[in-house]
Amino acid sequence: MKDDAQARPASQGTWVGRPLERFEDEALLAGRGCYADDAPVRPGTLAAAVLRSPYAHAQISRIDAARALAMPGVRAVVTGADVEAWTSPFIVSVKQPMRHWCLAVDRVRYAGEPVAVVVAEDRYLAEDALEAIEVDYDELPPVIDPVAAAQPDASILHADVGSNVVSDRSYRYGDPDAAFAEAAHRVRIDVRYPRNSGTPIECGVVVAEHLPGGAGYDVLSNFMGPMSLAAVMSLALRIPAARLRLRAPRHAGGSFGVKQALFPMIVAMCVASRKAGAPVKWVEDRLEHLVGATSATGRVTTLEAAVGDDGRITALAWDQLDDCGAYLRAPEPATFYRMHGCLTGAYAIARLRVRNRVVLTNKTPAGLVRGFGGPQVYFALERLVQRIAVELGLDPLDVFRRNFVPSGAFPYRAPAGALLDSGDYAAVLERALASAGVDDLRARRSAARSAGRLYGIGFAAIVEPSISNMGYITAVLTPEARAKAGPKNGAIAAATVAVDLLGGVTVGVDSLPQGQGHATTIAQVVADALGLAPQDITVDVEFDSRKDGWSVAAGNYSSRFAGATAGAAHLAALRVRERLARIAAGALGCAPADVVFERGKLFARSNPGGALSFARAAGNAHWAPALLPEGEMPGLRETVFWTPDVLAAPDGHDRVNTSATYGFAFDVCALEIDRATGSVHIDRYATTHDAGRILNPALADGQVRGGFAQGLGAALMEEFVYAPDGSFRSGSFADYLVPTAMEVPEPAIAHLETPSPFTPLGAKGIGEANNMSTPVCIANAIADALGAGVDPAAIELPMTPSKILALVAATERMVSR
């Protein structure tokens, strides 16, 4: 079957949808990938090492680098003083006098914050010199717990801001108060979501060169965008954006959102290069990565629902507190606002109240982590749905069925502004139940329980947003402040298709892939448009901000590839096709609209015998411009910039369509808790998706499996732990636990496809769904296994055996009492 997938299809237009093997793999399997640390650098490039704060909160009273500078091979030491002289603090998306520099200036606010950079002839020598930099710290009281940090008497991180709560906004849609007043039931849940991360196996890499003569900086990095951050970096470096050249190598070792957070280190290395007078290379090591790179926001949520006797939810009230760490680093507080339009999830709930507070604590600044915002929202929402079923004595499946957005209602406008583009949630649910064999699971649960064993079944229904509206973050501002700042919206994607002088097709894209197989998928898409085979298409995924088509939304995040970038490539290929049709129409003796592109040939629909080869047809654009039809430009290269029409700026009522498309997933988890050890054994996990049209099913399933493994890690073992004094307890891969092949079971995957009407190919994202659904689905199953007596607020991720066993003991004490 696999072999069939690789073969040419019988007719054109059918490469998309096939589980093609990846063109990326041969180089990667042979060890011949070119990752950032493998890319060539200029001779004389120096190595950087970063001195980081051992304290969570302290005033820096003195830095003396004299001893370090005298050491062999050391060429420069960069400190806060250099950074103050040559850069500006990073801009912040809420108007607050917060000064966040690329290196600490005067004060450190989290353990692991960069304090100085040593530049030396090699990394070993640079690390030697770190130990010789003398820093005097005067310790300040740390603030670790987000709730405590929000109290008026808390120790303040940024004196000029005057409070650790840097944003506090409330929203109201419909009339939620009336719904709560009328409701037969009010069901409430209090939850916390932990800080964790995607921890790609390749850490960050930056090679920066300060260019003389005011030419700015040249940077090679595995930074993944969003390229809106190019503006943040160039403003910090006090240069025009055009003078910051950003390049990305051919391959990248995963990101999961995390490498977005490299941008402050790009600025730091630019400064280091300027000071050292030579190119500087920094390779983040694993200890640096864990302590200092980034984290998902930790969140404290109270969520309440107004519910009828039948389980129908009439209103939701969210109170969310996001722990963004020591600085509000761009694009935070986007973790909140990415999800804002769809805070009602998969449900038809017309009335909504939201309060969002952002609090700073003495922890690593938060940022993108796969699922961005989704895990936090759905952990509350889907735990709540489970509680509604428990408290009202309903079958949870009925609660889903009664509340889902009805199948015929798409596109459906959610109260906070999301325009749910397409879907059939009820059908996905039925497919999921069949895939999971839920009747069998319920029988297994009954049998297990009557034998005294702890067996539980959990569900989760999630809407997976993709292709983020670049304007959603402005929902954090009041409508008045927004009007003053000017509207922002859209999600521009760019792709270039070029046909060369021998008819070869090259495609350039703006997606900065981190291993997802974009080159293969783009080849499938463009092959279909041009009547070629994917093998004929050369896809260039390297990035160069000076040479590629890109705009603010470029990058590898918000699952924008399948819907936006692949769509733009499709449109660019169609443009090339139109031009070729015009060029060849004369020779083929037909109208351009009647030129057929199939199997590497062009022919008139009425005369398949008289075909021109694709290469021959394309050749004229290069070799014989005189033969081109009048008005036709020579050369054959088309760049398309595409933005979804449906992404407007937030309106005067704070409604915003936060993403262009919304996929759906329904998960079922059955598990057993070992009474002796508290450990969890997953008996079955089924995950069923609607991601619109699927471009390559093998790659889509790969995204599902990878997201599932990460979601399982978040559910059961992954957490960035801080001690009360702010010291970091998860500083190595022996402390921050990532699931291995022994811990990750094989999920049953099923799909249903309702194409998006809003993307060129009908595709939606699929890469983040399980990061959103799996943590809460497993938590619901654990709660079910522990029984109705368990304190719902005690279900806190990660559910380690130690925590679970304490709950087993507490629950059974209560039952026996």
Partner 1 sequence: MKPAAVDYVRADSVAEVTAILAECGDDARVLAGGQSLMPMLNMRLAAPRVLVDISRVAELARIRSGVADHASDGGRAAASGAVAVGAAVTQARLEARPTLAREVPMVALALPYIGHFQTRNRGTIGGSIAHADPSAELPLVLAALGGEVALRSQRGTRRVAARSFFAGMLTTDCRPDELVEEVLFPLAGEGARYGFREVALRHGDFALAAVAATVTRDAIRIAVGGVADRPQVETWPRLAGSALDDALDALARRLDARDDAHASASYRRHLVRTLGRSLVEELA
Partner 2 sequence: MRRYSRGEQHRVEVVLDGRSREGRCESRMLLSDFLRHVLGATGVHVGCEHGVCGACTVIVDGVAQRSCLALAVAADGRDVRTVHGLARDDVLSDLQQAFRRHHALQCGFCTPGILMSATDFLARNPAPTEQAVREMLSGHLCRCTGYTGIVAAILDVAALRRERGGTQAA
Chain residues in the site for partner 2 (CB under 8 A): 2, 21-22, 24-26, 28-35, 37-38, 124, 198-203, 251-254, 256, 285-287, 514-517, 698-699, 701-702, 705-706, 708-710, 732-734, 738, 740-742, 744, 746-747
Judged by DSSP in three states, 551 sits in: coil
CB of 709 to partner 2, least distance (A): 4
Identified binder of partner 1 from the candidate list 123, 188, 693, 705, rule CB under 8 A: 123
| Residue 677 touches which member of partner 1, partner 2, none, C-beta under 5-8 Å by kind | partner 1
275 or 370: whose CB is closer to partner 2?
370
- Give the other-Cβ count within 10 Å of 443's Cβ: 11
Q: Which does 706 bind (CB under 5 to 8 A by kind): partner 1, partner 2, none?
A: partner 2
Is residue 742 a contact point for partner 1 (CB under 8 A)? yes
Q: Residue 143 or residue 224: which is nearer to partner 2 going by CB?
A: 224
Cα–Cα distance for residue pair 289/102, rounded to 1 Å? 16
- Encoded tokens for 581: 């049709």
Q: Is residue 626 at the binding interface for partner 1, with CB under 8 A as the rule?
A: no
**Phi, psi torsion values for 119, nearest 5 degrees:** -115, 120
Q: Which of 730, 771, 774, 780 binds partner 1 (CB under 8 A)?
A: 730
Nearer to partner 1 by Cβ, of 265 and 339: the residue is 265
> CB of 285: closest distance to partner 1 in angstroms?
4
Options 53-61, 587-595, 750-758, 800-808: segment touching partner 1 (CB under 8 A) = 800-808
Half-sphere exposure of 624 (CA within 13 A, CB side): 10
E strands, 510-561, where?
537-540, 543-544
Among 67, 394, 801, 812, binds partner 1 (CB under 8 A): 801
Residue (546 or 729) nearer to partner 1, CB:
729
**Binding-site partner at residue 517 among partner 2, partner 1, none, CB < 5 to 8 Å by type:** partner 2
Q: Tokens for 362, please give them.
A: 């003495």
743 binds partner 1 (CB under 8 A): yes
The CA distance from 398 to 79, in Å, is: 60
Nearest partner of 498 among 580, 559, 416, judged by Cα: 580
Closest listed residue to residue 412, CA positions, set 461, 505, 342: 342
Give least dist CB 806 to partner 1, A: 7
Q: From the centroid of its chain, how far is CA 738?
A: 18
Min dist CB 707 to partner 2, Å, is 8
| Residue 549, contacted partner among partner 2, partner 1, none, CB below 5-8 A by kind | none
Among 13, 81, 97, 124, binds partner 1 (CB under 8 A): 124
3-class DSSP state for residue 306? strand
Which of these segments, 163-171, 529-537, 729-737, 767-775, binds partner 1 (CB under 8 A)? 729-737
Interacting residue with partner 1 among 148, 426, 805, 810 (CB under 8 A): 805
* Interaction of residue 679 with partner 1, rule CB under 8 A: yes
What is the closest distance, in whole angstroms, from the C-beta atom of residue 260 to partner 2 in the complex? 16
Whether the CB-CB separation of 247 and 23 falls below 8 Å is answered with no
Q: Characterize the bridge pairing of strands 637-642 and 659-673.
A: unpaired
* CB nearer partner 2, residue 327 or residue 685: 685
Shortest distance, position 52 Cβ to partner 2, whole Å? 16
Cβ proximity to partner 1, 246 vs 715, nearer residue: 715
Which one of partner 2, partner 1, none interacts with residue 253, CB within 5 to 8 A by kind?
Answer: partner 2
Q: Minimum CB separation from partner 2 for residue 219, in Å?
A: 20
Angstrom distance (rounded) from CA 590 to CA 613: 16
> How many residues sit close enough to partner 1 to count as binding (CB under 8 A)?
30
In sequence order, the 6+-apart residues with CB closer than 8 A to the CB of 51 are 114, 115, 116, 117, 118, 130, 133, 135
**Distance between CA atoms of 60 and 16, rounded to whole angstroms?**
57
Task: Pick from 677, 746, 791, 793 the residue near partner 1 by CB under 8 A.
Answer: 677
The contacts found for 787-793 with CB under 8 angstroms, 24 or more apart, are 787/454, 787/811, 787/815, 788/390, 789/814, 789/815, 792/189, 792/190, 792/191, 792/383, 792/387, 793/189, 793/190, 793/191
* Single-letter code of the amino acid located at 568: A
User: Taking the complex as a whole, how short is the minimal distance between the CB of residue 418 and partner 2, in angstroms?
Assistant: 29
With beta carbons less than 8 A apart as the criterion, state whether 36 and 249 touch.
Answer: yes
Site membership for partner 1, residue 19 (CB under 8 A): no
Assess 739 for contact with partner 1 (CB under 8 A): yes
Residues between 253 and 292 that touch partner 1 (CB under 8 A): 285-287
Our CB check for partner 2 shows the closer of 80 and 555 to be 555
Q: Which is nearer to partner 2, 298 or 713 (by Cβ)?
A: 713
Q: How far is the CB of 792 from partner 1 (least distance, A)?
A: 21
| Helix H or strand E segment including 229 | helix 228-237
Nearest distance in Å: CB 14, partner 2: 20
Q: Which two tokens stand for residue 468?
A: 């983020």
User: Is residue 796 within the footprint of partner 1 (CB under 8 A)?
Assistant: no
CA torsion sign, 180 to 181 to 184 to 186? positive
How would you write 99-136 as a 3-class SS string? CCCCCCCCEECCCCCEEEEEEECCHHHHHHHHCCCEEE
The binder of 721, among partner 1, partner 2, none, by C-beta within 5 to 8 A per type, is partner 1
With CB cut-offs between 5 and 8 Å by kind, which of partner 2, partner 1, none does residue 801 bind? partner 1
Q: Considering the rule CB under 8 A, would residue 676 count as an interface residue with partner 1? A: yes
Q: Which is nearer to partner 2, 721 or 738 (CB)?
A: 738
CB of residue 43 to partner 2, shortest distance in Å? 13
What are the tokens at 241? 């954006």
Decide if residue 128 touches partner 1 (CB under 8 A).
yes
Partner whose footprint covers residue 427, from partner 1, partner 2, none (CB < 5 to 8 Å by kind): none
Under DSSP, the state recorded for 728 is B
User: Residue 200 binds which one of partner 2, partner 1, none, with CB within 5 to 8 A depending on kind?
Assistant: partner 2
Among partner 1, partner 2, none, partner that 127 touches (CB below 5 to 8 angstroms by kind): partner 1
- Nearest distance from C-beta of residue 21 to partner 2, angstroms: 6
SS (H, E, C) 145-194: CHHHHCCCCCCCCCCCCCCCEEEEEEEEECCHHHHHHHCCEEEEEEEEEC
CB of 678 to partner 2, least distance (A): 20
Which entry of partner 2, partner 1, none binds 37, CB below 5 to 8 A by partner kind? partner 2
Reduce the secondary structure of 627-674 to three states and give it as a string. Answer: HCCCCCCCCCEEEEEECCCCCCCCCCCCCCCCEEEEEEEEEEEEEEEC
- Segment interacting with partner 1 (CB under 8 A) among 157-165, 461-469, 529-537, 796-804: 796-804
Task: Decide: is 121 part of the binding site for partner 1 (CB under 8 A).
Answer: no
Report the C-alpha gap between 195 and 32 in whole angstroms: 35
Quote the CA–CA distance of 661 and 423 in Å, as a whole number. Answer: 10
Which value, to the nearest 10 degrees, does the dihedral of the CA atoms of residues 655, 659, 660, 663 take? -120
* Identified binder of partner 1 from the candidate list 68, 717, 786, 799, rule CB under 8 A: 717
**Residue 453 interacts with partner 1 (CB under 8 A)?**
no
Neighbour-count burial for 354-368, b at 16+ CB within 10 Å, e otherwise: bebbbbbbbbbbbbb
Q: Is 67 in the site for partner 1 (CB under 8 A)?
A: no
- List contacts with partner 1 (CB under 8 A): 123-124, 127-128, 131, 285-287, 676-679, 717, 719, 721, 729-730, 732, 734-735, 737, 739-740, 742-743, 800-802, 805-806
